[in-house]
């Protein structure tokens, strides 16, 4: 692995939540390759350590933090520790999330709904608030929240996830207005179907098992139906996400705030 000696984000400190997951790790590696030092936050300690090892290959300073985003006190103390360790926070990729069950709304499990909202909405709010306080003190910063096309077009059988991602789009728009006077930009990304891999396979299988008019009960057919709904007629690759995030964090997007960018192959 080639390590960086300097880069676009040299001297910048990035906080990434859900950092042990597929998207979080991909963005961490990309930002590190551009010179940023990285604070990796996740609840899964073992996977977090593995992620830190991978990101360090780019030559950045990388520190892992075990953090439960649903616990505001934990988020606040972790944020304070990050600032103590790094001195500041320039970027936040507010990415931790949970997809939840797939079922028609009349059958959707209440416990699962509450869990998805706690992680995806309350968790994102806790992190956004804690980091925003630090950025307000610094009078600068850039934030990208992970929304979803499920928060642009309500998907069938995904009441909790859809509601949570609509909330993230709204939270992004409100935070962008609240933080604009402090020279802090807040934007969001909305990926659609991403594959191949466990995320894609799980979504295909769960939609098939939901047994509704929108999708076949055969996973292979569901996959074709999903791809058929995309104008570009393919799913996206995880590697197509980090560049959009780094653009929104960069000075190239210095006059963009409150924006939700689809990464969706033409789905609008």
pLDDT band at 22 (very low <50, low <70, confident <90, very high): very high
Cβ proximity of 147 and 169 under 8 Å: yes
Active site residue 214: no
Query: What is d(CA 7, CA 138) in angstroms, rounded to the nearest whole number?
Result: 22
DSSP state of 2: P
pLDDT band at 4 (very low <50, low <70, confident <90, very high): low
Taking the CA atoms of residue 140, residue 141, residue 142 and residue 143 in that order, the dihedral angle to the nearest 10 degrees is -130
pLDDT in tens, 182-206: 999 999 999 999 999 888 999 999 9
Q: Which residue among 58, 65, 161, 235 is the active-site one?
A: 161
Q: Where are the beta strands (DSSP E) in 27-157?
A: 37-42, 62-66, 91-94, 141-146
**List of residues 6+ apart from 252 with CB closer than 8 A:** none
Query: What is d(CA 163, CA 157) in angstroms, rounded to the nearest whole number?
Result: 11
Give the start-to-end residue ranges of the domains of the chain.
Answer: 13-192+237-262, 195-235
pTM of the model: 0.96
pLDDT in tens, 242-256: 999 999 999 999 999
Does the domain at 13-192+237-262 match CATH 3.40.50.720? Answer given as: yes
């Amino acid at each position: 692995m080639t390590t960086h000696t300097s880069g676009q984000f040299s001297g910048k400190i990035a906080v990434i939540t859900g950092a042990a997951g597929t998207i979080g790790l991909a963005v961490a590696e990309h930002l590190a390759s551009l010179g940023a030092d990285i604070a990796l936050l996740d609840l899964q300690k073992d996977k977090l350590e593995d992620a830190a090892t991978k990101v360090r290959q780019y030559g950045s300073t990388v520190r892992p933090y075990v953090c439960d985003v649903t616990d505001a006190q934990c988020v606040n103390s972790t944020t304070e520790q990050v600032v103590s360790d790094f001195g500041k926070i320039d970027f936040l990729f507010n990415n931790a999330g949970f997809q939840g069950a797939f079922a028609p709304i009349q059958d959707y499990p209440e416990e699962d709904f509450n869990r998805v909202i706690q992680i995806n909405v309350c968790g994102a709010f806790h992190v956004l608030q804690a980091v925003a306080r630090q950025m307000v003190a610094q009078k600068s910063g850039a934030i990208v929240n992970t929304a979803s096309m499920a928060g642009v077009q309500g998907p069938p059988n995904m009441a909790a996830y859809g509601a949570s991602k609509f909330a993230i789009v709204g939270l992004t728009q409100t935070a962008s207005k609240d933080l604009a006077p402090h020279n802090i930009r807040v934007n969001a990304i909305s990926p659609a179907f991403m594959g191949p891999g466990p995320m894609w396979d799980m979504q295909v299988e769960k939609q098939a098992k939901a047994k509704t008019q929108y999708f076949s009960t055969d996973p292979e057919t569901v996959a074709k139906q999903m791809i058929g709904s995309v104008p570009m007629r393919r799913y996206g690759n995880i590697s197509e996400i980090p560049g959009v995030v780094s653009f929104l964090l960069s000075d190239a997007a210095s006059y963009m705030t409150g924006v939700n960018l689809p990464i969706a192959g033409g789905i609008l």
